Each structure stands twice: as structure tokens, then as C-alpha cells.
Amino acid sequence: MIDVQNVRFTYDGANFALDGVSLHVRKGEFLCILGGNGSGKSTLAKHLNALLIPDEGTVKVQDMPTADADCTYRIRETVGMVFQNPDDQLVASLVEDDVAFGPENLGVPTDELRERVTKALEDVGLSGFERHETHALSGGQKQRVAIAGVLAMNPAVLVLDEASAMLDPRGRAGLMRVCHELHERGMTIVMITHYMEEAAQADRVVVMEHGHVALEGTPDEVLVQARALAHLNLDVPFAARLSLDLRDAGMAVQPTVDAGKLAREVLTLGEAGGVCTAASASAAPLDAVDTDVDFPTCEGDADAPALIEFQDVSFTYDAAEAKRQRKRKQAPAARQAKWGNSPDSLWAVRGVSLQVRRGEFLGVAGHTGSGKSTLIQHMNGILKPTSGRVLIDGTDIASKGAESKVRGSIGVVFQYPEHQLFAETVYKDVAFGPRNLGLSGEEVDALVRSSLERVGLSFDELAEKSPFELSGGQQRRVAFAGVLAMDPQVLVLDEPAAGLDPASKRSFLEMISRLHDQGLTVVMVSHCMDDLAAMCDRVAVMNEGRLLGVGAPERLFLHAHKLKEVGLGTTEPQAFAETLRAGGWPLEQEKLYTEKDLAGMIADACGANSSGNDVASPSPAGSEGQVVE
């Protein structure tokens, strides 16, 4: 289908982004190209549909060389491409106009256009969205519109260039579902990603490094090479890590990336070892499994002083409509979107009572649109509650003069904070906050210096550089420093690791933990349950604007069943433990399992001939960066 032969390519004439890549994409396969940032995977993607032409070597699409300008449009018609940022690739204001854009360019007659648009939207599960405005869709829906726009051109190959990187888990799941459905119907799919979980679902995986193909093979062959992958700045899927740990402990399990498969194997071994019985398995169907621990819905103890207190807070972006509804005393029947939250729901946050205690690390979990972002914008008075009160250190933020006091003591870091950089030097950008507080030159200087150091950047090296010259990860650190320079007591973070590759994400989260250890109170919004469980003292779960529950992760994440009801998961090790329990494996009811616990527990139970040494040193989640061969 696509044949890449010894391709070399350079943007600047000096460094080769692609340095001798050969690759063959077969008809009808699901190929995944993995790689860390700067491995050349996106550059390769752009070669597949003639957006870039190789400097050396050839790329042929159905025997048409991309270097031949006459073939360009035929190649682009054959190889459709979806890009990373959902906001950047939609051309028209209305969904149907955008989907029609490609075939319009190809000169498809109007009647057929209509057919193609209807068909393409059906294929991505967005029938009925024809007249919707593109900007009002969720990120996942936008990406699916982008896919529909490509499908309407009737391509033979679909290339997704990190199309899921900026989506939340639900949007990502929807995107993967669409890709699988298309693949089943014979579409060739080339997916570029740094999510291993996605690669695990492919037919074949190619791993890129420094413009080369580093590894190639089926997911099971490639992804279990944990050490090589960690070295390439990629995450190893949980199941692969666990299966390797178990093998290290001397158990006879196949290395795999499929958690379900691993669970079955472990259960078989367990039965053989007499740990569990198949009889008890049938007695406990999966969805009935729940613990006896109460779902923590409210916080009883108030031993630690509350720094931020929400008292029955509700908020709506449309106050006038809320008033009207209150008069009518009835809510109109809300239209429900097929996937995702309804855009018509009136209350962004409803009846939330919550305390943030001094010195704690509070996590906030929930879907996009569940009210998390609205909630944290109340914490420094950017939004004022429509009803209810928010108290900061005992002061109502709605009261006069409270605002400026609050702004200094509570630092909010928004999503993608690097997009807010503006000054000509790093120094000036970081100094923006303290200057606004009216501090003197020396004080500002000291704050800039200390806050840059706190985010792990060197003041002397970077202070006079332009923030726009820095790498993405460094830019985000500078933006962080800009908030820290206000010397806040509380740091409120909205998805601080969104869009980072695994290595940057890890070091970033470590930095946040360090800041917390230094005495900052931290509130962090995240989609990743494993991060929340590992880092937080308490976790609050939001669902459709309401606070579903708040409590310590050890208690909260035991409720896999309840969390699943609102479409959230629990931590990966806990989910695996639940599967084992459902299979009849005797497990403690009131314990949140970590990967280390699981590996040790399973190995012990099966009486594997572990030398003790091996069990003690399985690589715990999140630290395989340090594993040295």
C-alpha cells in the first residue's frame, strides 16, 4: 500500500529528522508508530501523504511516488490524515460543511457530496450533528468530525498523527472505537501515538527513535521489552510491567500487554496452586463485586483547618436562564448528546460543599464537562458562585476587597499554561505576577530567582532568554514559575501534565510532589486515576456538576463499581485485583492494591521459586525510567 524506502529528511539542512527509514504499510493492517517527542514520527506521517517530500529515498503510495507533483492530489485522496489538535483542522463553522470540504475540493457533484457526508458522519457515530457548530463540540467529537472529513474523500489509508494526544479518556476511547470499526471494514490505519495502550490494540507496532526504526513487530513482541522502551522515553503498559515482574519472580506467565489475558493466566496458575477455585468464581460475577467500605460521600472530620471552604456552591454560566427556570419551577427536559455531556445542561456546578485543608494534596477527578474546571476557578474568585459561598481562610470571596487578597495567596495554573507566556524574556514573564502585586525590585528579583529554582530551571541560564525559544516542557515550567512567583499558599492545577510525553510528565509530577512536600497546599485536577492515587491525600470525584464523593484514595478507589457507573475507572492495579477477585482469588476487601503489592502477593501465593531478591525489586509504577539494564 505504502512503501517507504531509505528516507532521509531534514528541516534545517543539518539535523536529519528522518535518517534512513524504511517501512512497508500493508493493505488492511492496523499499524501503530510509537515514539517519544522528537523521534521523527510526525515527520514520517507527513511524508505518507506528500505534505513533505523526502530529501533522499522514496515514498510510494500505491506505486505513485510522492515526489511526482502530478500525483500529489491523488495521493492525498488515497491517504487521509488527521492531525493532533482538534481545533486546528476544522475549516468550516458547521459540521456538514467541514466534512464536505475535502470532497468539494475534489470536485464531487452535489448529490454525491450529500451522500458522502451522511455516510461519513454515520461512520464516526455523529449522525444528526450535521447542522451543529464545530466550536461547540467536545474535543473528541471534533476529532471524529475531522475523521469524517477525511472519510468523505473515500481514502484507502487513514493516518492519525497523535490524534488522541489532546483528548480526555472518554474522547480517546471514542476515537479508538471509530478506528477499530473502520479497520474491521477494511480500512488501512496508521496511528502515530505515544500511548502504549493504543499501540497494544494494533496489528503491528513500529517504534521510532532519532529518525530510525528502533523496534518492529506485533504488540506482544515489542511492548514487553520494557527496558528498551523505557530507554526510548515511552511508558510500558501496566499489564506488560506486571507480567514481567511476575516472570522475574519466577512465574511461568507469557509476557503480554493484554490485562485480561494476564489475569486469566494468573488465575489458571492460582487454581493449579490451589489458591483459588473456579467454583467460587461463578459465585461472584464481576459487576456485583463491591467492597463493604462505605463510599466516602462527605468528610466527617474537621481536625485540620480548612483553607478553602465551599458551602453549597452552585454556578451557572447562564444566570438569566436559571432565574427564568426557577420562576417556572421546572427544568426543561434536557436533550442528551449521544456521547459526552449535554451542552444544554444549565448548572456547571451544583450544590458542592467541600473543604481544602491546609497542607493537603487534594485531587479532583471527573470527566470533561463534569464541572472540575468551573470548580477550581471559584478557588481564587475568577468565578463567583451563583448561590452558596466560597470562604478562603474564613473570608467570603464575594465580599469587597477579598479579591486582591485571595489572588496573591492562591495560585491557579490553567491547562496548557505555556500558551499564556508573553514577555520578551523569561525573567519579565515570571516577574509579571509579583510586579502586579506592587513589590519592590529586590523582592521581585528574589521571587523570580527562587521560583525558577523551585521548578527546576536555572536562573542564570534562562532568565534573559525568550520564553518562545524554549522547549515545550521548559515553557510549561516557566509558566509554573510565573504562578509560584506570587508566593501562593495554595497551588491549584488544572491537568498539569496534559499533552506531555511520558518522561516529561513523570518529572513534572515529581516536581509537583516536591512542591507539596515543601509545604504548599496543592489542588490538582487530573484524568489519570493512577496519578491521583499515587500523589494525593484525598480525592474528590465530580460528576455532572455534583460532588460524587471525596475521601482518601485508599478508600475511594476501592469502589471500582461505583466509579464505573459514572464512566470513571479505578487505578489499573486495583482493576486487575478486581478481575482476580471476580475469578475467585481470595483478596483483602479493604485494601487498595498497588502494582508492587500485586506482584508480590501473586508470586507468594503461587509459591513460585522466588529468591526473595526478585520480588523485592519489581519496578514500581512510574519509576522504570531509572531501570538500568
Residues numbered 369 to 398 that lie near other proteins (CB under 8 A) are 373-374, 377, 380, 382
Dihedral over alpha carbons 494, 496, 500, 504 (to 10 degrees) = 180
- In the region spanning residues 470 to 499, those forming contacts with other proteins, defined by CB under 8 A, are 482-483, 486
Site string for other proteins, 191-230 (x = CB under 8 A): ----------------------------------------
Stretch that binds other proteins, among 18-26, 27-35, 80-88, 451-459 (CB under 8 A): 80-88
Q: Which is nearer to other proteins, 435 or 591 (CB)?
A: 435
Segment interacting with other proteins (CB under 8 A) among 144-152, 223-231, 515-523, 527-535 = 144-152
Which residue, 93 or 282, is less far from other proteins as judged by CB?
A: 93
- Residue linked to cell 471514542: 174
450 sits near other proteins (criterion: CB under 8 A): no
State whether the Cα torsion 174-175-178-180 is positive or negative: negative
Angstrom distance (rounded) from CA 201 to CA 153? 26
Q: Which is nearer to other proteins, 201 or 425 (CB)?
A: 425
Tell me the angle at which helices 139-151 and 95-106 cross, rounded to the nearest 10 degrees: 30
Least distance from other proteins to the Cβ atom of residue 417, Å: 7
The sheet carrying 64-65 orders its strands as: 16-25, 2-10, 56-61, 64-65
Asked if 85 is part of the footprint of other proteins (rule: CB under 8 A), the reply reads: yes
The secondary element (H helix, E strand) that includes residue 213 is strand 212-217
Candidate list 3, 19, 56, 97; residue touching other proteins; CB under 8 A: 97
Q: Which is nearer to other proteins, 121 or 563 (CB)?
A: 121
Residue with cell 466560597: 390
Per CB under 8 A, which of residues 336..365 are in contact with other proteins?
343
Q: What contacts 21, CB < 8 A, 6 or more positions away?
A: 4, 6, 7, 8, 40, 44, 57, 208, 211, 212, 213
Site for other proteins in 32-71 (CB under 8 A): 46, 49, 51
Read off φ and ψ for residue 352, nearest 5 degrees.
Answer: -95, 125
Grid cell 513523570 — which residue? 506
- Strand 212-217 and strand 56-61: pairing? unpaired
CB closer to other proteins out of 421 and 540? 421
Kind of pairing, strands 64-65 and 16-25? unpaired
Whether 465 contacts 477, CB under 8 Å: no
Give least dist CB 458 to other proteins, A.
22
**Residues in 99-138 at the binding interface with other proteins, rule: CB under 8 A:** 100-110, 113-114, 117, 133-136
Q: What is the C-alpha to C-alpha distance for residues 139 and 135, in angstroms, rounded to an integer?
A: 9
Residue numbers 312-331 binding other proteins by CB under 8 A: 317-318
Binding-residue pattern over the window 574 to 613 for other proteins, x denoting contact by CB under 8 A:
----------------------------------------
> d(Cα 395, Cα 398) in Å, to the nearest integer?
9
CB of 429 to other proteins, least distance (A): 9
Check residue 150 for interaction with other proteins (CB under 8 A).
Answer: yes
Q: How far is the CB of 308 from other proteins (least distance, A)?
A: 14
Least Å from the CB of residue 420 to other proteins:
5
Question: End-to-end alpha-carbon separation of the chain, Å?
Answer: 38
Interface with other proteins in residues 12-31 (CB under 8 A) = none
